[in-house]
Chain A
Amino acid sequence: MEMLKRLLYILLIIPLSCVDPYTLELERGEQLLTVDGFITTEPGPHRIRLTRTDTYGSVFEGLIRPVRLATVNVRDSEGMVTFLTEVEAGVYETPAGFKAKVGLSYTLQLRLIEGREYTSFPEKVNQVAPIDQVSIRTVEIATDDRLEQRVGVQLIAHFKDPGDQANNYYWRTAPGSFVLVANPELYTNPPTHPSDPRGPAPKDCCAICYLVESSRSQNFTIASDESFNGLETRLPVAFIEDNGLRFKDTYRAEIQQMGISQEAFRFLRLIEQQLSITGSVFDQPPANIRGNIISLDNPDETVLGYFIAADVATSELYIESDDLDIKATPRIIPDDCRTVPGATLSPPSNWLRN
C-alpha cells in the first residue's frame, strides 16, 4: 500500500510581536548623587554636573534635580588643586586656561553643602592617537513606515592605534553647524492678513544663514583596541541624520576622539549596552552600572556616574551637499532664514570655510 500524504497550511499572517509602553508603579527610591563630567586636554572650560536621581518613569522625569552650592575641585597627581565654580544650578566649570595634562592622574573631590564629602578614584590621562582622516558614507535606515527611509551620513574615523599599549577610545561629536538655506522669495502673507491672506509677499532677505545645532541627547561610540591593536583602522563613529535641512549646502562636523581609562571604558560599555536594549529575546539583562565615585563618610552609599579625564584629538570636516549619494526630501523654509531660532547671518567662530 503506497501512501502519499500532502499537507497544505494556510496561515493567516498577522504581525506577531509587538512592543508597547507599559505602565508600571515603581517604588520611589532614594535620591542618589550623580556625577557627570569630563575634563580633557582641550582648553575648556570643562563642566562637571551634579544631580540627584529620580524615580524611573515618574511624572517629574523631565526635571533635573541639581545639587547646588557644592565645593568641587580637581586634584592632579602632582598635588595641584583646581577649584570649579558653579555657573548654573548644579553645573560646575573649570577656570579659564585649565586643561588636563597627558600622563597625570586626576581626582575629583566634592563637598556638599551639608558637609558630606566624596571623591573619585584617580583617572589617568593617556595620550590618544590623532585622527588621520574622517571619511563619510551615506547610509539608509529602514523605519516603521515602509515608504519612508531615514537617510544620513556616517562619519568614519581613520587612525593608527599604537601597538605597544592597550587603548580605549571614546568618540563624540561637538555640536555641528550648517548653512541654513531658506527661500524668502516664497514668503506668503499669514492667513489673518486683512487684505491678501496667503497672498505672495516675497522678501528680499535672507536666504543664507548659519545654524549651530543644540541637542540634548549625546550619542557616543566606544571601542577598545583588542581587535585592532597596532593597526591602521577605520571605524564608524557617528551618524548625522539628514533632516531635509542639514545637507542643503555645507555641514560642519567635528569629531572628538578621546583616550579613556580601562575602567571608564567598562562604565561606558555598560551604558552603551543599556541604550541598545530593545526588549528582544537576546537582550543582555540589566546591569548595575558602577561608577568611580565613593563617599568618604559612608562607604555603603551608592554614588552614580563617572568622572572621566581624557586626552582629545579633534578633527573637523565640511560635508558638501554633493557628497551625499542619497538625500532626504529637502525642507523648504518659505521665509527669512533669520526667523529660525538660533540662526545667524555670520558664520560661527570655528567656521573656516566661506
Chain B
Amino acid sequence: MKKLLPIFILFQLLLTTHLQAQEKRVVVGRDIGSMKNLNISGRIIDEITGDALVGATVTVRELNKTEVTSTNGTFSFVLDRAEYILEFRYIGYETVTYPIVAVGDGRINLTMIQEDFTLDDVVIFGRDPEKNIRSTEMGAISISMNTLKELPPFLGEVDIIRSVATLPGVSQVGEASSGLNVRGGGADQNLITFAGAPVYNPSHLFGLFTAFNPDVVNDFTLYKAQIPTKFGGRGSSILDITPKSGSLTKWGGDMMVGTVSGKASINGPIVKDVVSAQLSFRGSYINWLLNSLNNPELRTSQANFNDINGILYGEINENHNLTYSFYRSYDDFALASDTTISWTNQSQSLRYLGQFGEKLSVDLIGFHTLYDFSIFNQSGINNFDLNSGIIDTGGRLSLTYQLGENNRINFGGDTKRLTIQPGELIPSENGESGVLPQKVQNEYAMESGFFFQHEFELGEKLGFSYGVRYDTYTYYGPRTVRQYAENLPLNASNVIGERTYSDGEAIQTYDGWGPRASIRYSIDKNTSIKAGYNKMYQFIHLISNTATIAPTDVWKLSDQFLRPQIVDQYSLGIYKNFKGNIFESSVEVYYKDIQNVVEYKDGARLLLQNHLETEIIPGEGQAYGVEVYVKKNLGRATGWASYTYSRALRRVITPFEEEIINDGNWFPANFDKPHDLTLIGNYKISSFTSLSATFSYSTGRPVTFPEAKFDFAGNSLAFFRNRNLQRIPDFHRLDLSLNFKFQGDGKFYDGDWTFAVMNAYGRKNPFSIFFADQPGSPPQAFRLAILGVPLPTLSYSLKF
C-alpha cells in the first residue's frame, strides 16, 4: 500500500492543479482596498523533503517578469491588483502553474515535487530556462543530479567528474584520469569545492571513480568563463558541488549493493522542522575484481576505498539557517603487495545563510580541509613510511544587497591559511634500517581576497556585471631558502648560500587586482550577445610530470622562484533559445593567456625534493577555442550536442640553452585535443522505458615519439628530442543505456532496471602509446587501452 502513496499524491496533484487552472484562482493577500504596489512574496519548498528550493524561478506570465528564489527559497514581486498566472520552475522538478488573484500584501507557500515521481517527459532545464539569455553570466553551467541520472552510467554509477567532462570546453586526458582540463587549463587550475570546502584529490582507485557519492549531491555548478568575484585562487574554473541536506519532516534512507562497492544512507529530522541530519557511507570490496584480472601486477594488488558524508542542517527560521558538512574519502592501494599507497581527503564546513529584511542577504562559511598521502614500503629491506599532506583552513563572508529590481551588489572577503607538508620519510625498522629519516620543509602561506561585484540592467536590452577581486598572498617561514648565483640556471652547482627565515617571517609576498566584467545585449527576447573579461591569480601549483592527476603529484606554493599563475581570459558569446526555450543554443569563443605555468625538466625528481626550483621551469601558456552547444530541454527526446575546437599551447623560453624546451617554440600541452564532440541523447520510449546514449569523439592527445633507437650498456633505448609533437589515434566511444520502470505491485521485479553498455562498439582507444624493449619482441611501440572491450552493466533498483 505504501508504495502507491506517491502515485496518489501525484494524481491528487495533477487533479488539483488541473482544477485550479480551470476554475479556481487562489486569492492572495488581505483586501484593504489597495490597487497598486502589492507585495506578493512566497517560499518554495520540496514536497518530499521540506527543503527550500534555492534558485527556482517564478514567472508572472502576464507581465513576463521572472524572479529567482533566494538562498532560503523565497521570492517577492511588487504587483498591481489583478489576476495573474504564476509559473514555478526548478531543475528536475515538475513545473507548477499557479493562478492567483492579488488583492493585497500576501504570501504564497508552495511545494514542488521532483519529477522522479512523475512519469512524463523529461525536463532538463537549467534552474531557470531563460537564464542563459537573460543573465550576464557566461560559461556557467548548473546540473542537478536528476539530470545526470538520465545519462548512461559509468561502471554502473553516475559520475560527477566524468559528466562535467561532457560539457563544452571541458576535457580529460584519458579514460582513467580524474583531472579536468577546462579551456586549456591544467588540472590544478580547477577549484573543486564540496559544500564550500576545497577538495584536492577527489578520486577513488587512481581516478576510476569520482570520490563524491552521487546520492548525497544535490547539484553542481561549473564556472569556466565569467567567474564571480567571490571565487578566486585558481586559474581556470570553479566546480562548486552542493550536497543534499536531510529531510526536516520524516526519516528515510536507501541502500545499494553493487559488485565493487556498496552504499547506505539515512536522513531525517533530529528536531522536527528545525534540525535535520543526513549520513551516508560508501565502501568498496574490489579485491575480487583485481584478483580476477590477468595483469600480474594488478592481480597481486589490493585496493580499498570508502567515503563518508554527514550533513547537519538547522533552520533557525525561514530567513536564517546553518549547515554543517563533513566529508571524508579514503583510498589505499597495495601494489603487488609490498608497497601500499593511501590517500585521504577530509573536509568540513559550516555555513550560515541569512536574510536580513528584503534586501540584504549574508553568506558566511568557514572550512577546514585535509589531504593526506602516504606510501608504506614493506618490501622487507629498508622499510619506510613516506607521508605528505595539505591543510587548508579558511572562511568567506559574502554579502549581497539588492539595490533594486535587477540591480544588486555582492561584496565581502575571504582568507585561508595553507600548510603543505611535502614529504617526510620515516624508516619503519628501529635502528637497523639502512635508510635515513628525511623531511622536506613544510610550506606555509596566507591567501586572502576582497571582492566586489555589481550586476544591473539598463532597460530590457542591456545588462552589466563588473567587479574586481584583490588577491594578496604571503609565503611564510620557518624555512631555509637557497640562494643561487645570478644569471645562472637554478641548480645545485650554482648555490651561493642559504638564508633562514624565522617562524612567521614573510619570505615572499604577491598581490594583484583581478578585474572581471561582462556585458549582455539582448537582440530580442530569445537572443543575446555577451562579452566578458576575467583575470585570475593562482598561488598553488600541482607539480606533476605524469599526464594525469596522480596521487604522487606534489602540490607546491608560490615562493620567490615560482611565481603565481596569472590567467587572462577574453570571451564572447551568442545565445539563442528556440521554440519557447525547448532548444537552447550558444556559440562561445575565448582566448586565454596564462603566465607562469610549470613545466618540468627532463627526468625531474619531485618526491622528497627540498629544492623543487631546480626540477621545474616556468613557462607560458596560451589557449583559445570555439564552443558550440545545442540543447533540447523538453519532450520525449532530450539531450545536447557540444562541439569544441580548442588549442592549449605551452612555451618555455629561458636564457639558459639547456632548459629550453622544443627550441623555444609553442608546443601542445598534454591535454591539447583540438576537436572535441559530445552527443548526449535521451529518448522516452514510453512512460516506463527510456533509452539514452552518449557519443564522444576527440582528437588524440599529444605524445612524444622517438627520433631514433640507440644502444647503451646492452639496452635498446629510444631517443626523444622534442615534446608532444605527435598524437595518439583519435578517441571515440559510444555508451548506451536502457531504463525500465516496472510497476509490479510488490513483485520481485518491481523497480528500476538499467542496462548499460560502455564502449558499445568495443573501440580500443589508446590511453597511451609507449616504446619499450620487452623480452621476446624487438623494441617497438605498444598501445595501452584502458577500456578495450564493450562493458555491459545491469543495475536493479528496488523502491519500497
Contact = CB atoms under 8 A, between A and B. Distances in A.
B10 to A, nearest CB: 12
Interface string A225-250: 01111111111100000000000000
Given A8-B796, A51-B710, A56-B708, A269 B777 contact: no
Looking at B253, B256, B293, B784, the one whose CB has the most chain A CB atoms below 10 A away is B784
A286 B718 contact: yes
Interface string B550-593: 10100000000000000000000000000000000000000000
B717 A234 contact: no
Contacts of A226: 438, 608
A279 to B, nearest CB: 4
Contact of B256 (A6, A24, A269, A304): A6
Interface in A6-56: 6-24, 26-27, 29-32, 34, 36, 49, 51, 53-56
Given A13-B292, A305-B710, A21 B704 contact: no
B656 interface: no
A22 B793 contact: no
Given A288-B602, A289-B719, A57 B257 contact: no
Given A142-B336, A279-B782, A284 B545 contact: yes
B42 interface: no
A189 interface: no
A17 B708 contact: no
Interface stretch (B134-142, B218-226, B295-303): B295-303
Interface stretch (A95-103, A112-120, A199-207, A215-223): A215-223
Contacts of A23: 781
A285 B709 contact: no
Interface in A248-306: 266, 269-271, 273-275, 277-290, 302, 304-306
A285 B668 CA distance: 14
Contacts of A30: 707-708
Contact of A281 (B177, B250, B658): B177
Contacts of B548: 281-282
A164 interface: no
Contacts of B436: 227-231
Contacts of B155: 11
B106 interface: no
B784 A280 contact: yes
B487 interface: no
A312 to B, nearest CB: 14
Given A29-B707, A56-B771, A142 B781 contact: no
B259 A234 contact: no
A56 B766 contact: no
B489 to A, nearest CB: 14
Contacts of B768: 279-281, 283
A27 to B, nearest CB: 8
Looking at B6, B434, B547, B778, the one whose CB has the most chain A CB atoms below 10 A away is B434
A52 to B, nearest CB: 9
B546 interface: yes
B709 A61 contact: yes
B717 to A, nearest CB: 6
A87 interface: no
A220 B712 CA distance: 11
Nearest to B768: A279
Looking at A17, A49, A51, A143, the one whose CB has the most chain B CB atoms below 10 A away is A17
Interface of A is mostly: loop
B628 interface: no
Contacts of A137: 380-381
B791 interface: yes
A220 to B, nearest CB: 7
Nearest to B770: A279
B254 A3 contact: yes
B252 interface: yes
B715 A275 contact: yes
Contacts of B380: 137
B550 A7 contact: no
B546 A281 contact: yes
A144 interface: yes
B792 A12 contact: yes
Nearest to B799: A5
Given A29-B707, A61-B716, A277 B770 contact: yes
A282 B546 contact: yes
A287 B789 CA distance: 31
Nearest to A26: B705
A16 B771 contact: no
A194 interface: no
B782 A19 contact: yes
A46 to B, nearest CB: 13
B766 A4 contact: no
A50 to B, nearest CB: 11
Looking at A56, A142, A289, A302, the one whose CB has the most chain B CB atoms below 10 A away is A56
Interface in B264-314: 289, 292-297, 299-300
B375 interface: no
A304 B719 CA distance: 8
Nearest to A154: B381
Interface in B766-800: 766-773, 775, 777-789, 791-800
A286 B716 contact: no
Given A54-B708, A234-B434, A281-B177, A17 B787 contact: yes
A141 B337 CA distance: 11
B797 A235 contact: no
B715 A218 contact: yes
A32 B259 contact: no
B547 A57 contact: no
A17 B786 contact: yes
Contacts of B252: 1-4
A285 B546 contact: yes
A271 B603 CA distance: 9
B714 interface: yes
B176 interface: yes
B786 to A, nearest CB: 5
Contacts of B295: 15, 17, 144
A24 B781 CA distance: 7
Nearest to A150: B296
Contacts of A6: 254-257, 751, 797-799
B5 interface: yes
Contact of A9 (B259, B381, B382, B602): B259
A161 to B, nearest CB: 9
Given A53-B708, A288-B602, A274 B782 contact: no
A193 interface: no
Contacts of B254: 3-7
Contact of A34 (B547, B712, B721): B712
A64 B716 CA distance: 11
B713 interface: yes
Interface in B712-764: 712-721, 723, 751, 764
B177 A53 contact: no
A131 to B, nearest CB: 14
Looking at B260, B716, B797, the one whose CB has the most chain A CB atoms below 10 A away is B716
A208 to B, nearest CB: 30
A289 B717 contact: yes
A13 B259 CA distance: 9
9 contacts: A1-B48, A9-B259, A9-B795, A16-B786, A22-B780, A26-B706, A227-B436, A279-B783, A281-B174
Q: Which 10 A-B residue pairings sit nearest by Cβ, starting from the closest? A: A233-B434, A218-B714, A5-B254, A53-B708, A7-B256, A9-B258, A279-B784, A287-B602, A142-B296, A22-B783
Given A11-B259, A227-B425, 18 more contacts: A1-B48, A3-B799, A9-B259, A9-B260, A10-B794, A15-B789, A20-B782, A56-B718, A56-B779, A57-B709, A57-B778, A220-B713, A235-B434, A270-B603, A279-B782, A284-B546, A288-B719, A289-B719
Interface of A: 1-24, 26-27, 29-32, 34, 36, 49, 51, 53-58, 61-62, 64, 137, 141-144, 146, 156, 172, 215-218, 220, 226-236, 266, 269-271, 273-275, 277-290, 302, 304-306
